[in-house]
Amino acid sequence: MTARVVLATRNAGKIAELRAILAGAGLDIELVGVDAFPELEDVAETGDTFAANALLKARAVSVATGLPAIADDSGLSVDALNGMPGIFSARWAGRHGDDEANLQLVLAQLSDVPDERRGAEFVCAAVYVDPTGREAVCQEVMRGHIIRTPRGDNGFGYDPIFAFADGPLTTAEMSAADKNAVSHRGKAFRALAALLTEGSEGLL
Protein backbone atom coordinates (compact mmCIF):
# COMPACT_ATOMS: atom_id res chain seq x y z
CA MET A 1 0.00 0.00 0.00
CA THR A 2 1.37 3.40 -0.98
CA ALA A 3 2.01 5.60 2.04
CA ARG A 4 0.88 9.23 1.94
CA VAL A 5 3.59 11.53 3.21
CA VAL A 6 3.54 15.33 3.48
CA LEU A 7 6.55 17.27 2.30
CA ALA A 8 6.81 20.29 4.57
CA THR A 9 7.41 22.95 1.93
CA ARG A 10 5.50 25.22 -0.45
CA ASN A 11 8.46 25.42 -2.85
CA ALA A 12 7.23 23.83 -6.10
CA GLY A 13 10.78 23.37 -7.39
CA LYS A 14 11.81 21.51 -4.28
CA ILE A 15 8.69 19.28 -4.35
CA ALA A 16 9.41 18.27 -7.96
CA GLU A 17 13.07 17.63 -7.17
CA LEU A 18 12.32 15.50 -4.12
CA ARG A 19 9.64 13.49 -5.91
CA ALA A 20 12.27 12.57 -8.50
CA ILE A 21 14.90 11.72 -5.88
CA LEU A 22 12.59 9.57 -3.76
CA ALA A 23 11.11 7.80 -6.78
CA GLY A 24 14.63 7.05 -7.98
CA ALA A 25 15.40 5.57 -4.57
CA GLY A 26 12.50 3.14 -4.96
CA LEU A 27 10.38 4.66 -2.20
CA ASP A 28 6.70 3.85 -2.75
CA ILE A 29 5.01 6.94 -1.34
CA GLU A 30 2.49 9.54 -2.43
CA LEU A 31 4.31 12.79 -1.74
CA VAL A 32 2.12 15.88 -1.27
CA GLY A 33 3.14 19.41 -0.37
CA VAL A 34 1.62 21.45 2.44
CA ASP A 35 -0.40 23.32 -0.19
CA ALA A 36 -2.69 20.26 -0.08
CA PHE A 37 -3.64 21.46 3.41
CA PRO A 38 -4.63 25.14 3.00
CA GLU A 39 -5.33 25.53 6.70
CA LEU A 40 -1.72 24.86 7.68
CA GLU A 41 0.30 27.88 8.78
CA ASP A 42 3.96 28.33 7.96
CA VAL A 43 6.35 27.13 10.64
CA ALA A 44 8.87 29.64 11.98
CA GLU A 45 12.41 28.39 11.40
CA THR A 46 13.86 29.37 14.76
CA GLY A 47 16.43 26.59 15.08
CA ASP A 48 20.17 27.24 15.05
CA THR A 49 21.08 24.36 12.74
CA PHE A 50 19.75 22.92 9.48
CA ALA A 51 18.62 19.76 11.30
CA ALA A 52 16.82 21.71 14.02
CA ASN A 53 14.86 23.76 11.47
CA ALA A 54 13.93 20.69 9.43
CA LEU A 55 12.67 18.91 12.54
CA LEU A 56 10.60 21.94 13.57
CA LYS A 57 8.82 21.88 10.21
CA ALA A 58 8.31 18.13 10.03
CA ARG A 59 7.04 17.82 13.61
CA ALA A 60 4.54 20.64 13.17
CA VAL A 61 3.22 19.30 9.86
CA SER A 62 2.93 15.73 11.17
CA VAL A 63 0.98 16.88 14.24
CA ALA A 64 -1.31 19.12 12.16
CA THR A 65 -2.09 16.51 9.46
CA GLY A 66 -1.84 13.25 11.38
CA LEU A 67 0.42 11.95 8.59
CA PRO A 68 4.13 11.20 8.33
CA ALA A 69 6.08 14.28 7.26
CA ILE A 70 9.36 14.80 5.47
CA ALA A 71 11.20 18.11 5.63
CA ASP A 72 14.57 19.49 4.82
CA ASP A 73 16.50 22.60 5.59
CA SER A 74 19.26 23.39 3.21
CA GLY A 75 21.45 26.28 2.31
CA LEU A 76 24.72 27.65 1.09
CA SER A 77 27.80 27.83 3.31
CA VAL A 78 30.56 30.05 1.91
CA ASP A 79 34.07 29.65 3.31
CA ALA A 80 35.02 33.32 2.95
CA LEU A 81 31.80 34.37 4.72
CA ASN A 82 32.55 32.19 7.77
CA GLY A 83 29.90 29.66 6.73
CA MET A 84 27.18 32.17 5.95
CA PRO A 85 24.48 32.51 4.64
CA GLY A 86 23.99 29.08 6.25
CA ILE A 87 20.60 28.69 7.88
CA PHE A 88 19.73 32.22 6.68
CA SER A 89 20.20 31.31 3.00
CA ALA A 90 16.53 31.74 2.01
CA ARG A 91 16.33 35.22 3.52
CA TRP A 92 19.93 36.46 3.23
CA ALA A 93 18.90 39.67 1.45
CA GLY A 94 16.12 40.35 3.96
CA ARG A 95 13.00 38.91 2.33
CA HIS A 96 12.32 35.17 2.47
CA GLY A 97 12.49 33.41 -0.89
CA ASP A 98 13.88 36.25 -3.03
CA ASP A 99 16.37 34.05 -4.87
CA GLU A 100 17.75 36.75 -7.16
CA ALA A 101 18.36 39.25 -4.34
CA ASN A 102 20.00 36.59 -2.18
CA LEU A 103 22.27 35.48 -5.02
CA GLN A 104 23.29 39.02 -5.93
CA LEU A 105 24.09 39.85 -2.29
CA VAL A 106 26.45 36.88 -2.02
CA LEU A 107 28.18 37.91 -5.25
CA ALA A 108 28.56 41.48 -3.95
CA GLN A 109 29.99 40.25 -0.65
CA LEU A 110 32.56 38.15 -2.55
CA SER A 111 33.43 40.74 -5.19
CA ASP A 112 36.96 41.28 -3.85
CA VAL A 113 37.60 37.64 -2.90
CA PRO A 114 40.07 35.86 -5.24
CA ASP A 115 38.97 32.73 -7.06
CA GLU A 116 41.07 30.40 -4.90
CA ARG A 117 39.25 31.55 -1.76
CA ARG A 118 35.69 31.21 -3.09
CA GLY A 119 35.13 27.68 -1.81
CA ALA A 120 31.62 26.82 -0.65
CA GLU A 121 29.29 23.96 0.01
CA PHE A 122 25.61 23.27 -0.15
CA VAL A 123 24.30 21.60 3.03
CA CYS A 124 21.05 19.64 3.41
CA ALA A 125 19.48 18.10 6.51
CA ALA A 126 16.63 15.76 5.53
CA VAL A 127 14.29 14.49 8.25
CA TYR A 128 11.32 12.20 8.71
CA VAL A 129 8.76 12.45 11.53
CA ASP A 130 5.59 10.40 11.96
CA PRO A 131 2.63 10.65 14.34
CA THR A 132 4.04 7.87 16.55
CA GLY A 133 7.04 10.07 17.34
CA ARG A 134 9.58 8.18 15.26
CA GLU A 135 12.21 10.43 13.70
CA ALA A 136 15.18 10.11 11.37
CA VAL A 137 17.79 12.72 10.36
CA CYS A 138 20.35 12.58 7.53
CA GLN A 139 22.73 15.43 6.63
CA GLU A 140 24.97 15.67 3.56
CA VAL A 141 27.06 18.29 1.74
CA MET A 142 28.10 19.12 -1.83
CA ARG A 143 31.43 20.92 -2.22
CA GLY A 144 32.11 23.50 -4.90
CA HIS A 145 32.92 27.18 -5.35
CA ILE A 146 31.16 30.44 -6.13
CA ILE A 147 31.60 31.79 -9.65
CA ARG A 148 31.45 35.48 -10.53
CA THR A 149 28.57 35.56 -13.05
CA PRO A 150 25.38 33.45 -12.82
CA ARG A 151 25.05 30.66 -15.40
CA GLY A 152 22.23 28.26 -16.18
CA ASP A 153 18.44 28.19 -16.02
CA ASN A 154 17.79 24.95 -14.14
CA GLY A 155 17.40 24.62 -10.41
CA PHE A 156 16.63 27.43 -8.00
CA GLY A 157 18.18 29.43 -5.17
CA TYR A 158 21.95 29.79 -5.47
CA ASP A 159 22.30 27.14 -8.20
CA PRO A 160 23.37 29.63 -10.93
CA ILE A 161 26.47 30.74 -8.98
CA PHE A 162 27.54 27.40 -7.44
CA ALA A 163 29.99 25.35 -9.52
CA PHE A 164 30.27 21.69 -8.52
CA ALA A 165 33.80 20.73 -7.42
CA ASP A 166 34.10 17.76 -9.82
CA GLY A 167 33.19 19.59 -13.02
CA PRO A 168 32.89 22.94 -14.82
CA LEU A 169 29.10 23.25 -14.61
CA THR A 170 27.02 25.20 -12.15
CA THR A 171 24.20 23.26 -10.55
CA ALA A 172 21.84 25.39 -12.67
CA GLU A 173 23.50 24.04 -15.83
CA MET A 174 23.21 20.38 -14.82
CA SER A 175 20.27 18.19 -15.80
CA ALA A 176 17.94 17.29 -12.96
CA ALA A 177 19.15 13.68 -13.02
CA ASP A 178 22.84 14.63 -12.97
CA LYS A 179 22.30 17.15 -10.19
CA ASN A 180 20.29 14.73 -8.04
CA ALA A 181 23.04 12.11 -8.39
CA VAL A 182 25.64 14.32 -6.68
CA SER A 183 23.79 17.05 -4.81
CA HIS A 184 23.58 17.57 -1.06
CA ARG A 185 19.82 17.13 -1.26
CA GLY A 186 20.01 14.02 -3.43
CA LYS A 187 22.49 12.35 -1.09
CA ALA A 188 20.58 13.32 2.06
CA PHE A 189 17.23 12.10 0.77
CA ARG A 190 18.63 8.85 -0.62
CA ALA A 191 20.14 8.19 2.80
CA LEU A 192 16.79 9.02 4.40
CA ALA A 193 14.94 6.76 1.94
CA ALA A 194 17.27 3.89 2.90
CA LEU A 195 16.44 4.40 6.58
CA LEU A 196 12.72 4.43 5.81
CA THR A 197 12.74 1.13 3.95
CA GLU A 198 15.58 -0.89 5.49
CA GLY A 199 14.49 -4.37 6.49
CA SER A 200 11.89 -5.00 9.14
CA GLU A 201 12.99 -1.89 11.01
CA GLY A 202 12.11 0.44 8.15
CA LEU A 203 9.96 3.39 9.16
CA LEU A 204 7.51 3.03 6.25
Domain count, the chain: 1
Q: Which of 150, 144, 152 is nearest to 175 (CA)?
A: 152
How far is it, in rounded angstroms, from Cα 33 to Cα 83? Answer: 30
Tens of pLDDT, residues 31-65:
888 888 888 888 888 999 999 999 999 999 999 99
Q: pTM, whole model, 2 decimals?
A: 0.88
**Consecutive H or E run containing 20:** helix 12-24
* pLDDT higher than 60, residue 28: yes
Confidence of residue 1 (pLDDT cuts 50, 70, 90): low
**Which pLDDT score is estimated for 198?**
66
* pLDDT higher than threshold 50 for residue 199: no
**Alpha-carbon span 116 to 112, nearest angstrom:** 12
Q: How many residues are listed for the chain in this entry?
A: 204
As a whole number of angstroms, the distance between CA 32 and CA 7 comes to 6
The answer, yes or no, to whether the previous bond of 114 is cis (omega within 30 of 0) is: no
pLDDT in tens, 140-177: 999 999 999 999 998 889 999 999 987 789 999 999 88
108 compared with 30, residue with greater pLDDT: 108
Average pLDDT over residues 176-203: 80
The domain in which residue 194 lies consists of: 3-201
159 is catalytic: no
Q: pLDDT tens, 97-129? A: 799 999 999 999 999 999 999 999 999 999 999
Q: Which of 198, 144, 132 is nearest to 174 (CA)?
A: 144
Cα distances from 164 to residues 67, 83, 197, in angstroms, run 36, 17, 30
**Choosing from 28, 48, 73, 178, which is the catalytic residue?**
73
Q: What is the CATH number of the domain that holds 87?
A: 3.90.950.10
Question: Is there a contact between 17 and 154 (Cβ–Cβ < 8 Å)?
Answer: no
